C-alpha cells in the first residue's frame, strides 16, 4: 500500500491573496501553530513584483512529527514547494475572484478541498475601467466556489476584519481554526497570534469573528435571473431591468434591494407617502395614469425633477413619460419604467447649479462623515476639487448673457487662468459654503439658460424617436431610451458621450424597421460604453455598414 493513499502525507494549505493583504503573515502563523505542535512545517511563496497588488500564492505543508523508519533516505520529510492540483486540503482565498482562480488552477477540488473564501470583491482593473458596468457576476463566482470545493466556508471575512479593526489575514486564520481541518486547539492558533506580538488584541477579535463564521452555512448564489435582453417579437415583454439584474451577495446591495422591494409595494398601495407635500397632485396623477410597475420609478423621477427645478418641471416630466407610456403594451410596463428612469436622469442633467446644490445638502455631508468614520462631534473639513470650464459657466447663464460670455476673450482668459489647475473649495468653511450656496441660488434662472434650451430640444428629439418606433417595435423603443446611459460625465467625457449618442441615434434611424433592430442598438450601446475613444463603437458601426449579415454574425 503506497504511503500517499495510506494517509502518510502532509496537510497541504494554499493561500491565494493579493500583494499587501498579509497572506505571508497568515502562512507564518500556520507554520508557527504547526511547529509548536511538533509538526514539520514548510512554507513557500513567490515573492517579487507579485507582491505589488498582484495575485499571489502562498503554500504551506505540515507533516506530523513522526520519526522515519530506520534506514530511511531522509531524516525529515521531503516537502513540496508547489501546491499540486487535486491534492490541496485547504485553500484560503482572500477574495471571491481569487477563490475562482484557485478553482481554475485546480488547487480547490470537490473531492478534497475545504475552501475558505472571503466573499468580498476587490475589482480587477478591467472591471473598473469600463465606461458602463464591467463587473463580473459574483453569483457565478459563488456558484463555482460551491462546485469547486468539498466544503465551502464563505463569508465576508474582510468586513469581519474591518469591524474588528484588524486585517483579513486574522479573520481567515480564525476561519481556518474554526473549520476544524487542522488538528490543533483554538488556543494554539491564538497563541501564534499572541507570539507575533503586533496588534494582538484586534487580531484576536477578528480571529474570533472568523472562527464563529466558520460554523455558519455559506451563502448560496441568487437564482438565475429572467433574461433582461430584449427578445425581439415576443408578445409578453421581459421583466423590468431593475430587478432582473443578477447581482450579488454583497449585504449592502441586498439591503438596498430589499428596501427597493418595500418601496415598490408602497408605490402600488400608497404612492402619496413617497413624495413631499407639494407633489401630492403629481403622485395622484402617477397613481391614476401609469402602470403599477412603473410607479416607483415615476415617483423618484417626479421628486428629482421638482428638486432640480420646480413642480412645473415635474409636470413636464410626467407629460413626457405619458407620451411614451401611451405605447405601453401592458404587463411589466418596461417601456414606461425605462422612460421614467431615463427621462428623469436626462432632465436632471448635471450643470453647475445642480452640482452646487448636491454639494451643500446636509445628508451629503453626513455621508462624508460616515465614510471618513468621523466620531459624533469630531471636527471635519471637506474640500471640493472643482474646475468649472468657461463653457459650463456660460451654459448656466441666461441664454443671451451666456452667449456673450462664451464669446468673450477677456472672460475666458480670466476664468481660464483661475481654473486651469482647478480650485479647491472648503464646503465646510464660510466662504466655500456661501459660494456653493450662491451658485445653487441660480436655479430659478436656469430655464433661461443656454444649456436648458439645448437639453430640452435634445430630449424631445430623442423621445420623438421612441414614440415613432414604439408602436411597431416595442423593444427598440426601450433600447432607444436606454441609450441615455451613454450621456455621462463632464467636460471631455461628456462631449464624447454626446458624440456617441448622436451616432447611436443615427444608427436607430438606419436600422428601424429591421427585425433585429433592438438587438443591434443594444450591441452598439455596449460598444459605446466599452472605451473612451469611441473605437469600439466605430468598429461596430463599421461592421453594421458592411451589411446586416455581417452585423448579425458579430452579435456575440
Residue ranges in 132-151 that form contacts with other proteins under rule CB under 8 A: 132-133, 135-137, 140-141, 144, 147-148
62 beta partners: 11, 41
The answer to whether 359 contacts other proteins (rule: CB under 8 A) is: yes
3-state SS, residue 282: helix
Among positions 314-333, residues that touch other proteins (CB under 8 A) are 314
Site map (CB under 8 A) of other proteins, residues 527-546, x = contact: -----x--------------
Among positions 9-28, residues that touch other proteins (CB under 8 A) are 9-10, 18-20, 28
Applying CB under 8 A, among 38, 69, 235, 410 the residue interacting with other proteins is 69
Residue (340 or 450) nearer to other proteins, CB: 340
The answer to whether 493 contacts other proteins (rule: CB under 8 A) is: yes
Query: Within its chain, how far is the Cα of 507 from the centroid?
Result: 29
DSSP characters for 222-273?
PPPPPP-S--TT-SSPPPPHHHHS-----HHHHHHHHHHHHHHHHHHH-GGG
Residue of 140, 135, 153, 161 lying closest to 26 (CA atoms): 161
What HEC string does 522-556 produce? Answer: HHHHHHHCCCCCCHHHHHHHHHHHCCHHHHHHCCC
The answer to whether 252 contacts other proteins (rule: CB under 8 A) is: yes
The answer to whether 45 contacts other proteins (rule: CB under 8 A) is: yes
Q: Which stretch binds other proteins (CB under 8 A): 79-87, 178-186, 472-480, 515-523?
A: 79-87
Residue (374 or 545) nearer to other proteins, CB: 374
Among positions 378-417, residues that touch other proteins (CB under 8 A) are 378-387, 389
CB of 510 to other proteins, least distance (A): 26
229 beta partners: none
462/370 Cα distance (integer angstroms) = 40
470/477 Cα distance (integer angstroms) = 5
Q: Which stretch binds other proteins (CB under 8 A): 210-218, 328-336, 444-452, 482-490?
A: 482-490
318/302 Cα distance (integer angstroms) = 7
CB of 169 to other proteins, least distance (A): 15
Residue (60 or 469) nearer to other proteins, CB: 60
Site map (CB under 8 A) of other proteins, residues 209-248, x = contact: --------------------------------xx--x-x-
Residue of 376, 373, 410, 370 lying closest to 390 (CA atoms): 410
151 beta partners: 114
Q: Largest Cα–Cα distance in the chain?
A: 100
Applying CB under 8 A, among 48, 233, 407, 453 the residue interacting with other proteins is 48
Residue (472 or 495) nearer to other proteins, CB: 495
Residue (487 or 511) nearer to other proteins, CB: 487
Q: From edge to edge, which strands make up the β-sheet containing 114-118?
A: 40-45, 55-63, 11-18, 90-93, 114-118, 151-155
Site map (CB under 8 A) of other proteins, residues 115-134, x = contact: -------xxxxxxxxxxxx-
CB of 21 to other proteins, least distance (A): 10
Site map (CB under 8 A) of other proteins, residues 330-349, x = contact: -----------x--xx----
Residue (216 or 380) nearer to other proteins, CB: 380
CB of 528 to other proteins, least distance (A): 11
Query: What DSSP designation does 428 have?
Result: T
The answer to whether 448 contacts other proteins (rule: CB under 8 A) is: no
297/320 Cα distance (integer angstroms) = 14
524/505 Cα distance (integer angstroms) = 11
Amino acid at each position: 500500500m503506497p504511503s500517499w493513499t495510506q494517509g502518510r502525507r502532509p496537510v497541504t494549505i494554499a493561500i491565494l491573496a493579493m500583494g499587501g493583504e498579509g497572506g505571508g503573515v497568515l502562512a507564518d502563523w500556520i507554520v508557527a501553530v504547526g511547529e509548536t505542535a511538533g509538526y514539520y512545517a514548510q512554507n513557500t511563496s513567490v515573492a517579487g513584483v507579485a507582491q505589488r497588488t498582484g495575485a499571489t500564492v502562498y503554500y504551506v505543508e505540515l507533516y506530523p512529527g513522526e520519526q522515519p523508519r530506520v534506514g530511511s533516505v531522509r531524516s525529515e520529510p521531503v516537502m513540496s514547494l508547489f501546491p499540486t492540483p487535486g491534492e490541496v486540503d485547504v485553500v484560503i482565498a482572500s477574495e471571491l475572484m481569487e477563490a475562482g482562480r484557485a478553482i481554475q488552477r485546480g488547487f480547490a477540488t470537490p473531492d478534497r478541498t475545504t475552501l475558505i473564501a472571503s466573499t468580498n470583491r476587490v475589482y480587477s482593473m478591467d472591471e473598473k475601467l469600463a465606461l458602463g458596468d464591467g463587473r463580473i457576476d459574483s453569483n457565478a463566482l459563488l456558484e463555482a466556489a460551491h462546485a469547486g470545493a468539498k466544503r465551502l466556508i464563505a463569508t465576508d471575512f474582510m468586513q469581519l476584519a474591518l469591524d474588528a479593526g484588524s486585517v483579513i489575514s486574522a479573520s481567515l486564520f480564525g476561519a481556518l481554526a474554526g473549520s476544524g481541518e487542522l488538528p490543533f486547539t483554538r488556543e494554539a492558533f491564538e497563541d501564534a497570534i499572541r507570539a507575533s506580538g503586533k496588534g494582538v488584541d484586534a487580531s484576536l477579535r477578528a480571529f474570533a469573528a472568523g472562527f464563529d463564521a466558520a460554523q455558519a452555512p455559506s451563502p448560496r448564489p441568487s437564482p438565475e435571473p429572467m433574461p433582461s435582453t430584449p427578445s425581439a417579437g415576443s408578445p409578453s415583454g421581459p421583466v423590468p431591468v431593475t430587478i432582473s439584474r443578477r447581482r450579488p451577495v454583497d449585504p449592502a446591495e441586498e439591503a438596498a434591494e430589499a428596501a427597493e422591494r418595500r418601496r415598490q409595494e408602497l408605490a402600488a398601495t400608497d404612492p402619496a407617502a413617497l413624495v413631499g407635500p407639494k407633489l401630492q397632485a403629481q403622485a395622484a396623477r402617477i397613481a391614476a395614469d401609469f402602470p403599477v410597475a412603473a410607479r416607483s420609478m415615476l415617483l423618484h423621477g417626479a421628486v428629482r425633477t421638482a428638486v432640480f427645478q420646480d413642480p412645473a418641471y415635474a409636470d413636464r416630466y410626467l407629460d413626457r413619460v405619458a407620451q411614451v407610456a401611451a405605447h405601453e403594451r401592458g404587463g411589466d410596463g418596461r417601456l414606461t419604467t425605462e422612460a421614467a428612469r431615463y427621462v428623469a436622469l436626462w432632465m436632471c442633467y448635471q450643470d453647475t447649479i445642480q452640482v452646487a446644490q448636491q454639494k451643500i445638502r446636509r445628508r451629503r455631508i453626513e455621508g462624508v462623515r460616515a465614510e471618513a468614520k468621523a466620531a459624533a462631534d469630531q471636527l471635519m473639513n471637506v474640500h471640493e476639487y472643482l474646475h468649472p470650464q468657461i463653457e459650463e459657466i456660460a451654459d448656466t447663464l441666461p441664454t443671451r448673457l451666456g452667449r456673450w460670455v462664451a464669446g468673450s476673450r477677456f472672460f475666458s482668459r480670466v476664468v481660464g487662468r483661475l481654473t486651469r489647475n482647478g480650485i479647491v473649495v472648503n464646503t465646510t468653511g464660510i466662504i466655500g459654503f456661501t459660494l456653493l450656496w450662491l451658485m445653487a441660488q441660480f436655479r430659478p434662472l436656469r430655464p433661461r439658460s443656454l444649456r436648458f434650451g439645448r437639453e430640452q430640444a435634445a430630449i424631445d428629439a430623442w423621445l420623438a424617436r421612441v414614440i415613432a418606433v414604439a408602436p411597431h417595435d416595442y423593444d427598440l423603443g426601450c433600447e432607444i431610451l436606454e441609450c441615455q446611459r451613454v450621456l455621462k460625465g463632464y467636460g471631455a467625457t461628456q462631449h464624447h458621450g454626446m458624440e456617441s449618442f448622436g451616432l447611436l441615434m443615427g444608427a436607430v434611424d438606419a436600422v428601424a424597421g429591421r427585425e433585429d433592430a433592438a438587438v443591434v442598438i443594444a450591441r452598439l450601446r455596449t460598444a459605446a460604453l466599452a472605451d473612451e475613444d469611441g473605437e469600439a463603437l466605430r468598429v461596430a458601426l463599421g461592421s453594421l455598414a458592411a451589411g446586416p449579415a455581417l452585423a448579425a454574425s458579430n452579435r456575440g
